[in-house]
Structures are given as C-alpha cells and as structure tokens.
Chain A
C-alpha cells in the first residue's frame, strides 16, 4: 500500500514533485514522511527540508453585492 502524508500534514504540504512519501535523513535526523506530525513538518520545513512544499493557501471567492 502506497504511503501517504497524514491528513493534517497533507492539508498544508505536498511532497516535492517526483519524490515519494517514505524515509529521508536530514541533518542527521531520520524522517519518515508518512509518520510525520504537522508540528514536526513545520519544524523541518522551517529548517530548510526540501521535500515538503507548502500548498497554496485556498481563499474563498467573495461575491460582490450589487
């Protein structure tokens, strides 16, 4: 079964194109993307971890009143 990011992580990040959800080692730290919590993902991304890319923020369309 294909590994996936946890739901809250997938709501904020996607994996860098062409790369998979699995094991990485970053700055001496072993990272399992499928087991990563959102705070851990935020921490890694803030340190420069390149395999998670922040999704564009969804904005609600605002209908102008006539």
Chain B
C-alpha cells in the first residue's frame, strides 16, 4: 500500500512563529453540519495524498441551513492547545486537549456550561498568527468539560472549557465562519 513519503524537516529562518492562542475561536456542535458537510483531510495512504492534503483542510465545511460556528472568546495567555502521542508501539495515535478560559459569571454561560457538558462538536482554534486548527472530527468529535470558579482576589473568575478528542488536529485554512448557512 502506498504511503506519503517523508520530507526534509528544517528550521524556517525568518518565518515568525508566535506561540499561544488568539482570543476568538469557533465552536460547532455535530448537529450543526449538513449531511456529508464535514470535509476531511486525505489519509497518508491515499494514492494522491500530499503533505498539504493530509495536514490541512482547504474546502469549507457545509453547515445545515441557518447554522454556523458560534463565537468563543478566550482570555489571552490563558488558553492552550496541545496534542500528545498515545498508544503502544505499532499502534500509536494522537490525543488532543484544548483549554479556553471565558471570563465572567452569567446565566447565559451557566446554561452553555450545562449544554456543552452534554454535547460533542468540533472546535476551531485560532492561534496567535491567525492560523486556525480544527480539533475533533466526524469520527472522533470533541468532548467538552466546562467548569467555573471564582478564583482568589488576585486571580481569575470564569469558565474553563476543556475539549478533548482523539485523532490529529488539522489546519483549517478557510478560517472561522460566523454566518448562518443559506439554502443552496
């Protein structure tokens, strides 16, 4: 079976590489997407796969009519996204976890806490350079855990949203879509 070849992996001198997250992200429940509307990257053993087609999605997902991503603000320098390799030799996969902290204490966010704690979806995380990564997939959607705390008088009051999923994150080049879908 053919598989993607490896390439040189070198330092890109002169290319900015800021760390951390931006402050605006997108979140969508699985029910928000049209039938067959979630695009997927190529697998590494697809015959015509390229590094770009495996590591990124360049075609926008199609949402159900009236649906789109919802905005998710996260306090800067509080959030983080990371992936780790899990599993045994010859059976290694990826597990991702993302933390986003939303300030405040509101009835609306209390309700979102209840809703997200019982939901699965995709998370579109904006990084410091504006690049968006998608976490979760149709096969392995993100599971959310939302907690809240007052913090101390010198810390942080707000909601902590933690999303976890198996599978690799993928760069989502179309960016964030906050416009409800229309009938074709």
Contacts and interface: CB of A to CB of B under 8 A. Distances in A.
Interface of A: 16-29, 33, 48, 50-51
B181 interface: yes
Interface string B141-184: 00000000000000000000000000000000111111111111
Interface of A, secondary structure class, is loop
Interface of B, secondary structure class, is loop
Interface string B117-133: 00000000010011100
Nearest to A15: B182
Interface residues of B, number: 26
A19 B177 contact: yes
A-B pairs, top 10 by smallest CB distance, nearest first, are A28-B130, A22-B179, A25-B176, A26-B175, A20-B179, A23-B178, A27-B130, A20-B182, A18-B184, A17-B184
A11 B130 CA distance: 30
Contacts, number: 58
A13 to B, nearest CB: 15
A33 B68 CA distance: 15
B39 to A, nearest CB: 11
Nearest to A25: B176
Contacts of A20: 68, 179-182
A32 B177 CA distance: 11
Given A18-B34, A19-B60, A50-B59, A29 B130 contact: yes
A21 B181 CA distance: 9
Contacts of A16: 60
B130 A23 contact: no
Most buried by A among B26, B58, B59, B175: B175
